[in-house]
Amino acid sequence: MEHYIDTHTHLYDGLFGDDAEKAVARAIDAGVTRMIMPDIDSSSREAMSALAGKFPENLFPCIGLHPTSVDGNWRKSIEEIEDIGCGKAVAVGETGMDCYWSKDFVKEQEEAFEWQVRFACRHGLPVIIHSREATGLILDVLERCRHLSPSGVFHAFSGSLETFRRLSAYGDWYVGIGGVVTFKNASIAETVKHIPLERILLETDSPYLTPVPHRGERNESSYIPLIAGKIAAQKNITIEEVAYTTTRNAERLFNI
């Protein structure tokens, strides 16, 4: 059986309810033996840590502030992160910018994102970037931090090949490919043909963005092989190669 790493799952989300531990077991049975859980904010941090504590060899927590959780009081949230420290976190995030849901705190989002990139660099951790209608702003921040040699992943990447190439100029960056690659007419399915496999990570973003044929249902990490299979088909390579290379990519980036 192939072994995979889901580099982005919110197993602690309320949509899993009492089913989270069973979802972890299903993932492991499917060969997805390690799962990385991005942080959102203080409201979900306790649940994330508790679940990670039950599966220390399989679940890896992160520390960060999601852009949609940024408001006029974002510095207090950042102070909480400073107080907590990195601990067992394998990455900073998910952070980034989101101009889709609201543009009320765009400047604050940019400041919070840059703080987290610099924080990650100080602690030798990669960054998990959430980007929605904010690519230019995010690249501006990475330009200012380029001298710090940041690393990380563009979560749920849906950009063009040109965007990938621009991103690659700002440090050691990967792209996270999830269920959207299986959607009919999804542009990322074509783009992924041209992105080097050595720069791709697999992710679900569960419980969201469920791949075909389960679209419309709750997503979970056990569906990672469906995403790997689609990438293999698009690149005309074996699923074994996708599993091996993306797993090595994740091990290298997150040091797990």
19-28 pLDDT, tens digit per residue, is 999 999 999 9
In residues, how long is the chain?
256
Residues with Cβ within 8 Å of 152's Cβ and at least 6 positions away in sequence, in order, are 91, 92, 93, 120, 126, 127, 128, 129, 171, 172, 173, 174, 253
Report d(CA 196, CA 200) in Å as an integer. 7
This prediction has a pTM of 0.97
pLDDT in tens, the chain (256 residues): 899 999 999 999 999 989 999 999 999 999 999 999 999 999 999 999 999 999 999 999 999 999 999 999 999 999 999 998 899 999 999 999 999 877 889 999 999 999 999 999 999 999 999 999 999 999 999 999 999 999 999 999 999 999 999 999 999 999 999 999 999 999 999 999 999 999 999 999 999 999 999 999 999 999 999 999 999 999 999 999 999 999 999 999 999 9
The domains found in the chain, sorted by start residue, are: 4-254 (3.20.20.140)
pLDDT tens figures, 142-151: 999 999 999 9
Would you say 5 and 60 are in contact if contact means Cβ atoms under 8 Å apart? no
Pick from 250, 232, 230, 254: which is nearest to 241 by CA? 232
pLDDT tens figures, 191-242: 999 999 999 999 999 999 999 999 999 999 999 999 999 999 999 999 999 9
Would you say 23 and 222 are in contact if contact means Cβ atoms under 8 Å apart? yes
Mean pLDDT, the chain, rounded, equals: 96
What is the DSSP track for 34-80? EEEE----HHHHHHHHHHHHH-TTTEEE-B---GGG--TTHHHHHHH
